[in-house]
């Protein structure tokens, strides 16, 4: 299970379309913020994909398929979190990528730009609630995912903020991470971890995470290309 998350305008859909182009329009792609359900799921029978289906049911259908799927979410709904915890208990791997924006004004600007290109609008009320709630719920999703990556989607700073596995983090922008999650007890995976007796277990997890480095590098390149395209 993959979770592509972030506030409105962060670039979730663009990243999802680049990473999983063949999943878009099927039951393997779930927009947790979309109320239209499986309206575009071409791989399902007409009686299903033309109906409005609750997010929880869409997640159940994806799980029953017994193959990887991606959830796009502002992290306002807790349905993807429940699915994450359930799948982890069943032995599934869950990777979350969070696209962060430092200020809500940047969300507004991104959404306005999207509207000019015939994209979806987001009301001010929903945008403000999504921006705040997304940050509030992020620590719970970080705890639930076995591998995660937080990326700066603003294009102003270095792209990677932090990556990690379970409760440990490797931070590239420690100040930004503290700003995003001031109350979350992140452990810098360096000196402080070396003093703990469970360091071997943590190193094992990061060893497994490093196997995804090719994917992570690809994500970084995609994010950088998205920003370059926005500037042109």
Let me know: does 63 contact 47? Beta carbons within 8 Å: no
**pLDDT at position 232:** 62
Q: What percent of the chain has pLDDT over 90?
A: 3
For the chain, list the domains and their CATH numbers: 2-231 (3.40.50.300)
**pLDDT at position 178:** 72
Lowest mean pLDDT among 22-36, 100-114, 218-232: 218-232
Give the mean model confidence (pLDDT) for residues 151-160. Answer: 73
Lowest mean pLDDT among 51-55, 62-66, 179-183, 196-200: 196-200
Query: Residue 50: which pLDDT band, with cuts at 50, 70 and 90?
Result: very low
What is the average pLDDT value for the chain, to the nearest integer? Answer: 72
**pLDDT at position 102:** 79
Q: Model confidence over 8-42: pLDDT tens digits?
A: 888 888 888 888 888 888 888 988 877 544 445 45
Nearest to 165 by CA among 216, 124, 129: 216
Can you name the residues that pair with 99 across neighbouring β-strands?
151
Q: In what order do the strands lie in the sheet with 70-73?
A: 29-31, 70-73, 2-5, 95-100, 147-152, 160-165, 168-171, 187-188
**pLDDT at position 204:** 46
Residue 2 to residue 89: CA distance in whole angstroms: 16
Nearest to 131 by CA among 105, 150, 154, 113: 105
Cα 134 to Cα 6, 43, 72, 216, distances in angstroms: 7, 31, 12, 22
């Amino acid at each position: 299970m993959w979770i592509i998350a972030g506030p409105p305008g962060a670039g979730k859909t663009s990243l999802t379309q680049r990473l999983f182009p063949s999943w878009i329009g099927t039951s393997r792609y779930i927009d947790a913020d979309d109320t239209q359900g499986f309206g575009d799921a071409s791989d399902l029978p007409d009686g299903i994909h033309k109906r409005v289906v609750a997010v929880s049911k869409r997640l159940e259908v994806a799980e029953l398929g017994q193959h990887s799927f991606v959830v796009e979410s502002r992290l306002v709904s807790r349905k993807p979190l429940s699915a994450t915890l359930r799948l982890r208990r069943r032995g599934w791997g869950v990777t979350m990528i969070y696209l962060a924006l430092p200020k809500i004004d940047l969300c507004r600007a991104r959404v306005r730009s999207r509207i000019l290109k015939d994209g979806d609008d987001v009301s001010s009320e929903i945008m403000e609630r999504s921006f705040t709630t997304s940050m509030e719920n992020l620590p719970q999703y970080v705890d639930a995912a076995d591998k995660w990556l937080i990326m700066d989607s603003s294009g102003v700073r270095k792209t990677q903020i932090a990556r990690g596995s379970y409760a440990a983090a490797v931070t590239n922008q420690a100040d930004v991470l503290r700003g995003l999650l001031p109350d979350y007890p992140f452990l810098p995976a360096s000196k402080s971890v070396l003093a703990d007796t469970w360091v071997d277990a943590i190193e094992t997890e990061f060893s497994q995470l490093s196997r995804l480095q090719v994917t992570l590098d690809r994500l970084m390149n995609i994010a950088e290309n998205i920003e370059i395209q926005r500037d042109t």
